[in-house]
Amino acid sequence: MTERKFSQSGTEALLKKLHERPQTPLAEWLRAPAHVHYMAFRMSDPPVQRKASREEFESILSAFSVPDDHIFLHETFGYGVKETATGERLIIVWQAHTEYYNYQLWHLPLPTWAEAAFGSLTFPGYQFPVTPLGTEVCRLDILLTLDAVPSRERMKSLLPGPVVYGSRVLDEQTTVVTSFTPDEQGRERYWVSVGQPQGVASRLKDIVDAVVRIETYYHLLLMQKPLFSAAVDQVYKFEQVHLKQREVISGHIGHADSQTLQRWLNSLTQDLLKTNRIAGRLHFELSASLPYDKIVHATLNSLAERPIDSYRPVSDYVLGGITGVAEGYQQLLRRIDTLRGGFEGIISIIRARVDLILEAQNLALLQSVDKTTKSQVILQHTVEGLSVIVIAYYLAGLAGYILKGLYEAGLIKNANIASAVFVPIAIGLAFVITTVSRTYLHRKLAGGHAPQEEHKDDPQAG
């Protein structure tokens, strides 16, 4: 009964966790205009650094003296709200993912905010208090404003880079403009015009989340390009070496001796180990590329992007940068798996050849043992025959002495004739003695352990 209650309780907790939306209450704190800084960091050891990032977030909340009743902290998500007496707000949002974690720092100035401006957050006394963990993925500087999009010339002066991209997203009122070029602080700038203030707060977080999701996974995909390029060269070299090895081995394996086969095995095993090391690292680094690519495409589709005059669509830049990248990563992984399978196949063939040589040697050894056994049997019969002759000789010699004594005693007439007559008898006695001795020894050797086994089976023993 207790186990059933525990199971039901665990199921209810799981369902509650699946349906929980911890970010929903955050929308109540948001408004436009707003200035958002975003930063994402890739963790080198996620199980350890994910927990450390949570502790880092708690230290940030403490540094900003965020009131406890304005803090929400979940296992992988949390936020804190700091509000001044005049109504300005600083919202620190933290979220930990499988491979990375990020911060969204929202400065919500007063509605009378004079003019939107990129750069540092102007919240009173603001200074980011820690150095985050891991490798930086990207930094964004996002302005959310109710104003219409400025002229193209004005936008080119606000956004660094040679080309400006812009699109309408979600609805006819929301416009996103960016240049995808980092500024002097390393941040990519986004101008987001959200239109009329009615109902804006409910979609502000969705707009920012979509932008940062695209940017984060875009950069995560491209961050692996240096590793990918270096691995392509390594795999190419291994493929060339493997082709040459296959040609040499295929042409000489039929008449190669055991030393040559052993040398090939050692060389191929070393190459296989190197390939396995490369494959292990690349699978760890590149296996998530397909999900990341799908996340970018799915997020772009969810924005329902529509072009605007004088700007290239935002998706042109994003898709132009990642098209074919994930598939290229997967193709490299398949090439490595094929290469590894080729090494394993050649090694299996050589081992089979070695096994055949060993079987041939074992067969030759068995044939040699069989010949030796037959020779031993022949030698044994020869020795037994000689033994009969020797025993008969000694018996005849002993009988000769006896018969000579009987002759001297006058009991027989001719000792020589008697000795001659006794020779066949001596041979027969020698044969009987040899046969009886051989039979006794065979029985002794065959039944040497019989008494112990009978004693072990006797229930009265002991």
pLDDT digits (tens, 9 = 90+) for 56-77: 999 999 999 999 888 898 888 9
Angle at 45 between CA 44 and CA 50, to 5 degrees: 110
Alpha-carbon 451 to chain mean position: 61
The phi, psi pair for 205, rounded to 5°, reads -65, -35
Q: Element (H or E) spanning 151, and its range?
A: none
Whether residue 205 sits in one domain with residue 76: yes
Whether residue 353 sits in one domain with residue 332: yes
Lowest mean pLDDT among 25-29, 222-226, 275-279, 354-358: 354-358
Has residue 455 been placed in a domain? Answer: no
Has residue 50 been placed in a domain? Answer: yes
Q: What is the pLDDT confidence band of residue 79, given thresholds at 50, 70 and 90?
A: very high
Mean per-residue pLDDT, 394-420: 77
Asked if residues 290 and 333 have their Cβ atoms less than 8 Å apart, the reply is no
Give the pLDDT of residue 459: 47
Asked if residues 166 and 154 have their Cβ atoms less than 8 Å apart, the reply is no
Which has the closest alpha carbon to 350: 239, 238, 242, 256? 256
Residue bearing the bigger pLDDT, 448 or 303 = 303
Q: Count up the domains in the chain and report the number.
A: 3
- Structural domain ending residue among the three candidates 336, 363, 390: 363
Asked if residues 295 and 213 have their Cβ atoms less than 8 Å apart, the reply is yes
- Structural domain ending residue among the three candidates 363, 387, 412: 363
Q: What is the pLDDT confidence band of residue 24, given thresholds at 50, 70 and 90?
A: low
Whether residue 355 sits in one domain with residue 405: no
CA-only gyration radius of the chain, Å: 47
Whether residue 78 sits in one domain with residue 114: yes
Give the pLDDT of residue 177: 92
Whether residue 101 sits in one domain with residue 213: yes
Has residue 6 been placed in a domain? Answer: no
Has residue 170 been placed in a domain? Answer: yes
Q: Whole domain around residue 398: which residue ranges? A: 365-447
Has residue 285 been placed in a domain? Answer: yes
Whether residue 342 sits in one domain with residue 230: yes
Is pLDDT of 189 > 60? yes
Has residue 161 been placed in a domain? Answer: yes
Whether residue 217 sits in one domain with residue 309: no
pLDDT digits (tens, 9 = 90+) for 106-127: 998 887 766 668 888 888 888 8
- Residue type at 5 in one-letter notation: K
Asked if residues 158 and 205 have their Cβ atoms less than 8 Å apart, the reply is no
Asked if residues 235 and 229 have their Cβ atoms less than 8 Å apart, the reply is no
Question: What are 182's strand-pairing partners?
Answer: 188
Which has the closest alpha carbon to 118: 81, 155, 91, 79? 155
Residue bearing the bigger pLDDT, 19 or 397 = 397
Instruction: Locate 329 and state its tokens.
Output: 């990563």
Give the pLDDT of residue 6: 43
Whether residue 132 sits in one domain with residue 199: yes
Has residue 454 been placed in a domain? Answer: no
Whether residue 243 sits in one domain with residue 179: no
Question: Which region holds residue 180: left if phi is over 0, alpha if psi is between -120 and 50, else beta?
Answer: left
Give the pLDDT of residue 95: 93
Is pLDDT of 214 > 90? yes
Q: Percent of the chain having pLDDT more than 70? A: 89
- Structural domain ending residue among the three candidates 363, 395, 427: 363
Whether residue 127 sits in one domain with residue 145: yes
Tokens 């190197």, residue located: 274
Is pLDDT of 452 > 70? no
Which has the closest alpha carbon to 309: 197, 196, 155, 188? 155
Q: Element (H or E) spanning 180, and its range?
A: strand 175-182
Tokens 């390009």, residue located: 225
Give the pLDDT of residue 22: 54
Whether residue 133 sits in one domain with residue 204: yes
Is the bond leading into 33 cis (omega within 30 degrees of zero)? yes
HEC-encoded secondary structure of 391-445: HHHHHHHHHHHHHHHHHHCCCCCCHHHHHHHHHHHHHHHHHHHHHHHHHHHHHHH
Question: What are 142's strand-pairing partners?
Answer: 36, 190
Has residue 10 been placed in a domain? Answer: no
Give the pLDDT of residue 344: 79
Asked if residues 140 and 42 have their Cβ atoms less than 8 Å apart, the reply is no
Q: Percent of the chain having pLDDT more than 90? A: 19
Whether residue 267 sits in one domain with residue 184: no
Q: Which pTM value belongs to this model?
A: 0.71
Average pLDDT of every residue of the chain: 81
Give the pLDDT of residue 251: 77
> Would you list the DSSP string of 78-128?
EEEEEE-TTS-EEEEEEEE-SSEEEEEEEEE--TT------SS--STT---
Residue 164, helix vs strand vs coil = coil
Query: What's the rounded Cα separation, in Å, for the pair 87 and 422?
Result: 141
Query: What's the rounded Cα separation, in Å, for the pair 81 and 359?
Result: 78
